[in-house]
Amino acid sequence: MTDQANPPAVKKLFIKTYGCQMNVYDSQRMAEAMGADGYVLTEDQADADMVLLNTCHIREKAAEKLYSDLGRLKPLKAERPDLKIGVAGCVAQAEGEEIVRRMPLVDLVVGPQTYHRLPAMVRGEAPAILTDFPPEDKFDHLPARTSLNRATRRAPAAFLTVQEGCDKFCAFCVVPYTRGAEVSRPVDRILREARDLVDRGVREITLLGQNVNGWHGAGSGGEWGFGRLIRALGGIEGLDRIRYTTSHPNDMADDLIAAHRDVPQLMPYLHLPVQSGSDRILRAMNRKHTAAGYLRLIDRIREARPDIMLTSDFIVGFPGETDGDHQDTMRLVAEVGFGTAFSFKYSPRPGTPAHDRPEVDSRVADQRLQELQGLLTKQQKAAQEGMVGRALGVLFEKPGRQAGQMIGKSDYLHSVFVDAPQAQVGDLVRVRIVESASNSLRGELAA
């Protein structure tokens, strides 16, 4: 009930999100938590009462973006000293009070495991810097997804974090340090959140975790693996599409592969990062899988779901990488044929085992990156063109710029433009793909 005489003062919150989908999810949850304190989201930073930067630490460039954005906020803060500036996410976790030392205009620093306390921090009822790994589960202290207010944009596709942290300790990666140890959320909480989302019109859920397929938990009948969780989600009426990201090759259990065959709502799309095609480099990276093992796994997944599209992440120029190692990566890519992939030049990160190893010449790494991206772009184009003539499901997410046009995502996550004057956001329709453009497809409503 709202108090008519004393309506809560509406304050405006601007959030900028960097990094991975887990940060996108966290930003939504922080918006919901702040919504309970009367904050609504604004798209206009200059108009905000609070600016929250939800940051990423994965590569140096990602982390440096925070400081250039903070620099740009200086005039605004000088003009309006009561403007609150908060830093959340993985840079907050990694650098803590160092951020305030470097940029005194920052009022609050909150890590990925403490953001349930953000409203209290803003009210001045909790410390201004919180980057511990508290014993309590933050999700138990956040408002339920159903309490979404005007602050949160509604969309037919939603993220749902089911697993946090990582215990894999790849030699290049900050995630085990910024996100902490691997924790799986309990089955009942996940199913409840999924049902809440479906109740408010969500038709597609992407399950998130840095090592999402390593999820496990106690369910009915004993210990569940990730495949079992997907089967349970497949039983939710109104949940038409399930996706998940990101997975580690070593956690692709038989039951999960079988779920790709058996659960019709599970989309034929799998992001399975391999990082390199060279066993020597994979060992140096502490990836604990081989190139041949990855290829065998791909064979089994394709056997279970022949129309699946595979995507991956690659790092080039990892310390010690030779031309021969790079050619191994090129061969693996040629052999698998990816729908799309992210490829990055290695960036040494403070506190990680590979940080002080001798680096590959930067120009050589650039050349390798270019060569790899050339091949990946060709494969992406071929995969997209292979969609032409096919009838696919498309979930409309927003109206297009032209009258009567809708934009949605295909089963394979391609953006599809469709003339559909009668349709609404949230409709899931059959579309015949008629054309492949540079970064999207065009389709027509199928009869």
Q: Which residues bind ligand SF4 (CB under 6 A)?
A: 166, 168-170, 173, 175-176, 210-211, 248
SS3 of residue 441 by DSSP: strand
Q: Which does 176 bind (CB under 5 to 8 A by kind): ligand SF4, ligand F3S, ligand SAH, none?
A: ligand SF4
Which residues ranging from 38 to 77 are in contact with ligand SAH (CB under 6 A)?
58-59
Stretch that binds ligand SAH, among 62-70, 97-105, 343-351, 369-377 (CB under 6 A): 343-351
Alpha helices in 288-344 (DSSP H): 291-304, 323-336
Q: 326-329 long-range CB contacts below 8 Å, 24 or more apart?
A: 326/278, 326/368, 326/371, 326/372, 328/276, 328/277, 328/278, 328/279, 328/281, 328/291, 329/276, 329/277, 329/278, 329/372
Is residue 30 at the binding interface for ligand SAH, with CB under 6 A as the rule?
Answer: no
Between residues 29 and 248, which has the closer beta carbon with respect to ligand SAH?
248
Q: Could you give the CA distance from residue 58 to residue 178 in angstroms, rounded to a whole number? A: 9
Q: Is 315 in the site for ligand SAH (CB under 6 A)?
A: yes
Does the annotation list 56 as a binding residue? Answer: yes
Minimum distance from CB of 310 to ligand SF4 (Å)? 17
90 is in an annotated binding site: yes
Figure out which of the listed residues 152, 250, 347, 415 binds ligand SAH, where binding follows CB under 6 A: 347
The gap from C-alpha 338 to its chain's centroid, in whole angstroms, comes to: 19
Question: Binding site annotation covers 247?
Answer: no
Alpha carbons 128 and 101: distance in angstroms, whole number: 13
Q: Does 349 bind ligand SAH (CB under 6 A)?
A: yes
Stretch that binds ligand SAH, among 65-73, 170-178, 235-243, 395-403 (CB under 6 A): 170-178
* Cα separation, 425 vs 155, whole angstroms: 8
Interaction with ligand F3S in 285-344: which residues (CB under 6 A)? none
Residue 393: Cβ within 10 Å count: 19
- Please, what sign has the CA dihedral across residues 350, 352, 358, 359? negative
Under the criterion CB under 6 A, does residue 241 sit at the interface with ligand F3S?
no
CB of 311 to ligand F3S, least distance (A): 16
Helices 323-336, 291-304: axis angle to 10 degrees equals 10
Distances (CA, A) of 267 to 260, 302, 342: 8, 13, 20
Q: Smaller CB distance to ligand SF4: residue 58 or 85?
A: 58
Binding mask 43-82 for ligand F3S (x = CB under 6 A): -------------xxx------------------------
The binding site for ligand F3S (CB under 6 A) comprises 19-20, 22-23, 56-58, 89-90, 174-175, 178-179, 210
The binding site for ligand SAH (CB under 6 A) comprises 58-59, 172-173, 175, 210-211, 246, 248, 273, 275, 313, 315, 344, 346-347, 349
